[in-house]
């Protein structure tokens, strides 16, 4: 199937924010949790919307926790965030080849833009759909469908690329093609269990799939 539009998740897909996210969760949970949380437990928080993860720690203080998390996360972006190998070159190549490119993330738009700016990719995407742009987060199809709508794209020639099963599920729900990334911190089996159309060993694999050599 031909691909003309490619939508990307951000964290864990294009940019490595894993240690930043873990540090921000750890900082927040130490302040509001009733016990220490292990790294493995915190890894389970990565992917779903922030509010859903933090409610599991302390539902009564979830608004305060979100503020604490976001302040820490935003303040420490420069220290932690970098693009994964071959990502920037691949995105530039796709842009130059005329593909429509978008970001669909469960982060707030401002924080997503900061990550793109730090990694030099802030001018490469035609649309950015953040958590504050939609009523329903992935795996609901709304964020993908909103990006498609804003780009006047065709779902049949659109692909969603992500590191979390929410991305693959959202892609299936929106009727687009899907690609998982093997470098996911969650482990590739979780993605493979959700039947993505493609699995990328590195981002440059995408070029062959969409016919750009």
Please, are residues 161 and 207 in contact by the beta-carbon 8 Å criterion? no
The distance in angstroms from the start CA to the end CA of the chain is: 17
Give the whole-angstrom CA distance, residue 49 versus residue 97.
33
Which residue numbers are catalytic? 9
Contacts of 15 (CB under 8 A, 6+ apart): 81, 82, 83, 84, 87, 115, 116, 118, 119
Structure tokens at 48: 């779903």
The number of CA neighbours under 13 Å toward the Cβ of 106 is 25
Tokens 């926790």: give the residue: 65
Furthest-apart CA pair in the chain: how many Å?
53
CA-nearest of 197, 199, 208 to 172 is: 197
Give the whole-angstrom CA distance, residue 151 versus residue 135.
19
* Residue 84 DSSP one-character state: P
């Amino acid at each position: 199937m031909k691909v003309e539009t490619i939508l990307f998740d951000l964290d864990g897909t294009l940019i490595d924010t894993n240690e930043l996210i873990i540090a921000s969760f750890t900082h927040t949970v130490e302040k509001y949790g009733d016990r220490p949380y292990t790294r493995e437990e915190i890894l389970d928080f990565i992917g779903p919307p922030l509010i859903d993860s933090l409610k599991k720690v302390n539902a009564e203080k979830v608004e305060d926790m979100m503020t604490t998390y976001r302040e820490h996360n935003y303040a420490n972006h420069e220290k932690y965030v970098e693009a994964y190998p071959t990502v920037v070159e691949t995105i530039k190549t796709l842009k130059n080849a005329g593909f429509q490119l978008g970001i669909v993330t469960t982060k707030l738009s401002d924080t997503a833009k900061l990550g793109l700016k730090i990694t030099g990719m802030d001018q490469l995407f035609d649309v950015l759909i953040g958590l504050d742009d939609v009523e329903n987060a992935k795996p609901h199809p709304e964020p993908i469908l909103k990006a498609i709508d804003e780009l006047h794209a065709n779902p049949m020639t659109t692909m969603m690329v992500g590191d979390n099963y929410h991305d693959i599920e959202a892609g299936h729900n929106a009727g687009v093609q899907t690609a998982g990334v093997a470098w996911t911190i969650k482990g590739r089996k979780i993605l493979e269990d959700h039947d993505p159309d493609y699995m990328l060993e590195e981002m440059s694999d995408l070029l062959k799939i969409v016919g750009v050599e």
